[in-house]
């Protein structure tokens, strides 16, 4: 896919972190970007900064997602790109101090990270299929999901988060197969330790210590590097049905 002003993209969780970096990079290519986020103030600010639009959307709510995409369709007429970055990661063990994991917390994590990604992907794909095929291969769109290395090496306290990200990994290939005949590609990025707002709030020495766990380069990932990978997936038509670890070769220890 050629990234230019004729393309339209939706970025979930686009007001901050990895999503904001992807939105900024796409906007620099001239792509028409709409942010889906629950943080109204942050979404307004980032959309203004990149010359994009925003919708207040709760990805775990199917009706909210449907309404968000309906607004995008009304404004833009079509959709070429979806990048799912919305997610949460509260820490809780299966049993802690004799108490079982709060099932409501587990359900919330899965609801936002996994079901939210599916809600947006299915709505986006339906919209993409309404668009004419483009280019020699008949491409209609690209969906990029965000998993995590926790899908493979979930740490202590990450049972809900790892389960949700493992689900994203698991749905990547069948979703790509479902949509292949219609010219929509699906890939997933599984990032390692990146300098997202959560880690940016830690003291510098803690950030440095975490970065030193990465074999090479021995530092935290820059969200711009995640954005570069997302855009490469969009531009490279042979990338489909794949989960790409973007982690500097780290393999997470139990804690």
Ranges of the chain with pLDDT below 70: none
C-alpha span between 169 and 163 (Å, rounded): 10
Q: Does pTM top 0.75 for this prediction?
A: yes
Q: Which two tokens stand for residue 54?
A: 């925003």
Whether 175 and 114 have beta carbons less than 8 Å apart is answered as no
> pLDDT at position 200, please?
80
Where exactly are the structural domains of the chain? Answer: 8-244
Residue 48: the pLDDT is 97
Catalytic residues: 161
Question: 87 near 18, Cβ under 8 Å?
Answer: no
Contact 243, 169 (CB under 8 A): yes
Q: Which fold has domain 8-244?
A: Rossmann fold (3.40.50)
Per the CB < 8 A criterion, the answer to whether 123 and 69 are in contact is yes
pLDDT at residue 223, rounded to an integer: 97
**Count of alpha carbons within 13 angstroms of residue 211, beta-carbon side:** 18
């Amino acid at each position: 896919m050629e990234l230019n002003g004729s393309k339209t993209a939706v970025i979930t969780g686009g007001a901050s972190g990895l999503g904001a970096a992807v939105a900024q990079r796409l906007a620099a290519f001239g792509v028409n970007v709409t942010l889906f986020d629950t943080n109204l103030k942050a979404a307004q600010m980032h959309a203004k900064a990149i010359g994009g639009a925003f919708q207040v959307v709760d990805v775990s709510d199917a009706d909210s997602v449907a309404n968000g995409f309906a607004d995008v369709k009304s404004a833009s007429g079509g959709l070429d790109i979806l990048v799912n970055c919305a997610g949460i990661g509260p820490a809780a063990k299966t049993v802690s101090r004799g108490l079982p994991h709060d099932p409501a917390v587990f359900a919330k994590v899965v609801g936002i990270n996994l079901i939210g990604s599916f809600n947006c992907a299915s709505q986006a794909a339906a919209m993409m299929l309404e668009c004419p095929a483009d280019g020699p291969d008949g491409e209609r769109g690209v969906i990029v999901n965000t998993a995590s290395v926790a899908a493979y090496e979930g740490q202590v306290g990450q049972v809900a988060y790892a389960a949700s990200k493992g689900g994203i990994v698991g749905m990547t290939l069948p979703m790509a197969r479902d949509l292949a005949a219609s010219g929509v590609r699906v890939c997933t990025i599984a990032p390692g330790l990146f300098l997202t707002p959560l880690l940016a709030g830690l003291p510098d020495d803690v950030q440095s210590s975490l970065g030193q766990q990465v074999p090479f380069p021995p530092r935290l990932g820059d969200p711009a590097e995640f954005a570069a990978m997302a855009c490469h997936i969009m531009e490279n038509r042979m990338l489909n049905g794949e989960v790409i670890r973007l982690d500097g070769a780290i393999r997470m220890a139990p804690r």
